Amino acid sequence: MEHETQNLIMLGRSGSGKGTQAKLLVDEFNLEYLGTGDLLRAFTERGNPAAIKLKEVLMSGKLVPSWFAFFVWMEKLAYTNIHKGLFFDGSPRKIEEALILDDVLEWFGRANMKVILVDISREEAYHRLINRRVCSQCGKGAYAQDAGAKCKYCHGELTTRMEDSPDAINVRLDWFDEQVVPVIEHYEKKGNLVRVSGMQSPEEVHQEVLKALA
C-alpha cells in the first residue's frame, strides 16, 4: 500500500537553479533531501581510498559510476522514515538508473513520484556555471564579481567549485544531453514529468512548480 507522501525528483542542467528550488521544496513539504552531488562531496571527506579516488573523479569532471551514486543515497534512504516524503536531487542520471529507482520506490510504496525539470538551454547553463562561486566560510552561492570581492553574507572568500572548470563543465553538459535527456523522456511518457522554465526568477520558478504539483 502506498503512503500518502510527496516524493519528488528534480532534474535539470547544471546551473539551472535546482539547488535553490530543492531547498524551497524540501522546506515546503518537509521532505528528506537526497542530493547526490552533496552526498558525493561529503564522501570525499572520509579519507579512505574510495574517497580519494572519488575526489579525483569529481575534479576531472568525469561521471561517478552509477553504483557509487546508488550507494550514497541508498545509505541515507535506508534510515529515512517511510512516512516522510523524499526529494532526489541529481538522480537518476541515466535510463538504467531511472528504471532501478522506479523499482526501489515501488517496493517502498513510493511510486507516487513527480519529476520536476527546471529547463534552461546549454548556453545559459555554461554562462551560469563559468561565473559561479561559493563562499569558503558560509557555503552560500554567488556569481563572479570584481577581483577581490567577498561574500555578501559573511564577507568570506569566494572560490570556484572544483567541478566548475571549463572542461569539467562541458563534460557535464555533454553528459546531460546524451544520458539525462532519455531519462526525461522516460518520465514524460509515464506522465510523471513537470516541466518548468528556469529562465525566471527563483520565486517565479517556485510558484510555477507549486501550481503544477497542486
Annotated binding-site residue? 63: yes
CA-closest candidate to residue 193, choices 116, 120, 119: 116
Most confident of 56-70, 117-131, 136-150, 160-174: 117-131
> Domain residues of the chain, as ranges?
7-122+166-213
Annotated binding-site residue? 94: no
Mean pLDDT, residues 61-66 taken together: 82
Mean pLDDT, residues 185-212 taken together: 95
Annotated binding-site residue? 46: no
Question: Which residues touch 21 (CB under 8 Å, ≥6 apart)?
Answer: 10, 116, 118, 202, 205, 206, 209
Mean pLDDT, residues 72-96 taken together: 87
- Note the pLDDT of residue 12: 94
Residue 108 CB-density burial (10 A; 0-12 exposed, 13-18 middle, 19+ buried): middle
pLDDT band for 137, please (50, 70, 90 cuts): confident
Annotated binding-site residue? 15: yes
- Note the pLDDT of residue 95: 95
Q: Has residue 146 got a pLDDT over 70?
A: no
Annotated binding-site residue? 140: no
CATH topology for 7-122+166-213? Rossmann fold (3.40.50)
Annotated binding-site residue? 197: no
Annotated binding-site residue? 13: no
Annotated binding-site residue? 16: yes
Annotated binding-site residue? 21: no
Mean pLDDT of the chain: 88
- Note the pLDDT of residue 1: 36
Annotated binding-site residue? 109: no
Annotated binding-site residue? 200: yes
Annotated binding-site residue? 101: no
Annotated binding-site residue? 58: no
pLDDT band for 148, please (50, 70, 90 cuts): low
